[in-house]
Amino acid sequence: MENILSVLIFFPAVAGLLGFVVDKNSARVYGISVAVVEFLLSLWLWMSFDGTNAGMQFVEIIPLVPDFGISYYVGVDGISLFIVVMAALMTMLGMISMNIEKDIKNMVISLLFLEMTMIGVFVALDAIVFYLFWELSLVPMLYIIGAWGGPLRIYASVKFFLYTFSGSLIMLVGMLFMAYLYQSISGVWSFSITDWYALVLPMNYQIWLFLAFFIGFAVKVPMFPFHTWLPYAHGQAPTIGSVILAAVLLKMGTYGFVRFSLPMFPDASTQMIMPIAVLSIIMIIYTAMVAYAQKDIKQVIAYSSVSHMGVIMLGIFAMNAEGIGGSIFLMLSHGIVSGALFMLVGVIYDRRHTKLMSEFGGLASVMPKYALIFGIMLMASVGLPLTIGFVGEFLVLLGFYKVSVIGTILAGTSVIVGAIYMLSLYKKSFFGPVTNEENSKLADLDAKELVALVPLVVIVIWLGVYPKPVLGPIDNSVKALLGFMHEKAQTTEVKEIITLSKNIKEAK
């Protein structure tokens, strides 16, 4: 299908509009049905994708404002392909596991519109189209947190919106200036990202433009010190909101660095390796320690999520194939694992209406299926070998080892600290005697919850044991990206890094 990307983007939105005429009693089944079709379309995209082709595929270009070079321009490569599949998968499984009765129809419609914006961001190759999808994603998530969240939901939703919207306005200024530079050099306006790749800019321009894009992406990641909105958003969001936020929305920031910052500003990216590495290491260690201090299970996972995003950032700015490829794989594994962990927290919250560790204990004897799946996801989160979490973290640390041995050792402490706080959480909640009488009567996972969680367990083990089907296309596109950066770079630092990476690949 030539227009499969447009179908993937707009099918959920059209279904969302039709959802207004669907009876509220049928809304849940309707939403799940649409999400299943969308996921099957994403699998079709994967099956049709040529893994040996490192370039953009399924490209569509439709002029929108020709005088200013704005077009509906979309495409997918190995870097974005699996994030699109993951977005469709997590939306589908999130809807299946969703246990919301209040105003379910509007929740389903909001999720479908959110799915449109997420996929739009990951396939857009025109900066204005990218920006529109980026900003539109704030609206349904703002509504989801504000309408279905906890007691501080309004504060959390407004803080989420203000942080991300303010950061993206600075990014928009950078985009407009890039278009102006392209026009001043070529004589024509263009907002095409691939056209901007051809610009070779002086270092002073690169640094300022890099910083403009950095603010927009860093808030979304969220990098230290822009991370303070995320614990509130996770803490107050309903389970489905936390699942989508952790699994997909945070990846927009890290994806932006790979799609925009590295290829457009290779020299500035090289200059910023160590400052960003320092911020990333602070983010990894600081939020891991904060996670250990939490008493709320959901807050532990929320801060753990920030720590893992720091590892992803470290890999991106390793500026070699192992680091960047590992980061993209870690985006997927973090999305799968953190999404599953938030689902599991939602399961216990629906039964007890509390997330405090002190309220639990001995759950393994009462809910053995729940304890087993939680344990598997916990081990994947801390990077146990033969789980999906190990592959990406190992590649990231391997890649950054070539940049800084000390930095790699410091970042590697996240594995140790992560194991401490996660195993501590598991011990307090699942082992020992059942001290609270209310817990002795809790029901184990039901069929609906198993349908949502078992596929994630399979993926965690499958891609942990055999990651090649995903790593292959990612590696091809990453090597093409690094090769392009090598040709475009004006400084020897980038060229030396790319050459080293190529030599290592050839030796293998």
Mind listing the pLDDT tens digit for each residue in 449-470? 999 999 999 999 999 999 999 9
pLDDT at 503 (0 to 100): 46
Sorting pLDDT into bands at 50, 70 and 90, what band is 492?
low
CB 77 within 8 A of CB 56: yes
Residue among 198, 334, 199 at smallest CA distance from 255: 334
- Work out the pLDDT band at 493, boundaries 50, 70, 90: low
Buried b (16+ CB within 10 A) or exposed e, 183-195: eeeeeebbbbbeb
At residue 75, φ and ψ (nearest 5 deg) are: -175, 170
58 phi and psi angles, rounded to 5 deg: 55, 40
Contacts of 349 (CB under 8 A, 6+ apart): 239, 298, 355
Type of residue numbered 417: V
Distances (CA, A) of 502 to 5, 467, 479: 32, 21, 8
Residue 489 clears pLDDT 80, i.e. is over it: no
The answer to whether residue 205 sits within a structural domain is no
Q: How does residue 500 score in pLDDT terms, banded at 50, 70 and 90? A: low
- pLDDT of 501 > 60? The answer is no
- Positive or negative torsion for Cα 36, 38, 39, 45: positive
User: What's the total number of domains in the chain?
Assistant: 1
Report cis status (omega within 30 of 0) of the bond before 238. no
Tokens of 173: 């200024």
Confirm whether 424 is domain-assigned. Answer: yes
In a domain, 378, yes or no: yes
Using one digit for the tens of pLDDT, what is the confidence trace for 181-220? 989 888 889 999 988 888 888 888 889 999 999 999 998 8
Which DSSP helix (H) or strand (E) runs through 212? helix 203-220
For the segment 26-42, the average pLDDT, to the nearest whole number, is: 93
Q: Has residue 71 been placed in a domain? A: no
SS3 of residue 59 by DSSP: strand
pLDDT of residue 506: 45
Does the pTM of the predicted model rise above 0.95? no
Say if residue 498's pLDDT is above 60.
no
What does pLDDT average to over the chain? Answer: 88
- Find the range with the poorest average confidence among 149-153, 217-221, 423-427, 496-500: 496-500
The rounded distance, in Å, linking the Cα atoms of 289 and 294 is: 9
Band (pLDDT 50/70/90 cuts) for residue 131 is very high
Beta strands at 70-76 and 57-65: parallel, antiparallel or unpaired: antiparallel
Q: Which H or E run contains 449?
A: helix 447-465
Q: Is residue 442 part of a domain?
A: yes
Question: Residue 81: pLDDT band by 50, 70, 90 thresholds?
Answer: very high
Could you tell me the two tokens for 313?
A: 């950032």
Secondary structure, 3-state, 122-178: HHECEHHHHHHHHHHCHHHHHHHHHHHCCCCHHHHHHHHHHHHHHHHHHHHHHHHHH
pLDDT at 505 over 60: no
Query: Distance of CA 85 to CAs 89, 150, 470, Å?
Result: 6, 30, 11
Report the candidate in 492, 508, 307, 312 with the shortest Cα–Cα distance to residue 413. 307
Interval 253-258 mean pLDDT? 92
Where residue 169 falls among pLDDT bands split at 50, 70, 90? Answer: very high
pLDDT mean over 478-499: 73
List CB contacts of 3: < 8 A, sequence separation 6 or more. Answer: 60
- State the helix-helix crossing angle for 229-236 and 297-316, rounded to 10 degrees: 140
Mean per-residue pLDDT, 431-452: 85
Residue 211, number of CB atoms within 10 A of its CB: 16
Position 123, amino acid: V
- C-alpha dist (Å) from residue 74 to 9, 37, 62, 198, 480: 10, 21, 9, 18, 19
pLDDT category at 388 given cuts 50, 70, 90 is: very high
Lowest mean pLDDT among 8-12, 70-74, 299-303: 299-303
Under 8 Å between Cβ of 344 and 494 = no
Give pLDDT, residue 495. Answer: 62
Task: Give the span between the Cα atoms of 232 and 157, in whole angstroms.
Answer: 8
Residues 2 and 58: beta-carbon distance below 8 Å: yes
Six-digit token string for 201: 């800019």
> Is 102 a domain residue?
no
Q: End-to-end distance of the chain based on CA atoms, in angstroms? A: 37
Asked whether the predicted pLDDT for residue 419 surpasses 90, the reply is no
Judge residue 35's burial from the number of C-beta atoms within 10 Å of its C-beta, 0-12 exposed, 13-18 middle, 19 or more buried. buried
Instruction: For residue 108, give the H/E element and its range.
Output: helix 104-123
Encoded amino acid at 158, one letter: V
With a CB cutoff of 8 Å and minimum separation 6, the contacts of 387 are 376, 379, 380, 460, 461, 464
Confidence at residue 92, expressed as pLDDT on a 0 to 100 scale: 94
Dihedral angle, C-alpha 468, 473, 476, 478, nearest 10 °: -100
Residue 123 confidence (pLDDT) above 90:
yes
Domain that holds residue 357: 272-480
The pLDDT value recorded for residue 16 is 92
Instruction: Please count the other Cβ atoms lying within 10 Å of the Cβ belonging to residue 105.
Output: 18
Task: Name the 3-class secondary structure at 340.
Answer: helix
359 belongs to a structural domain: yes
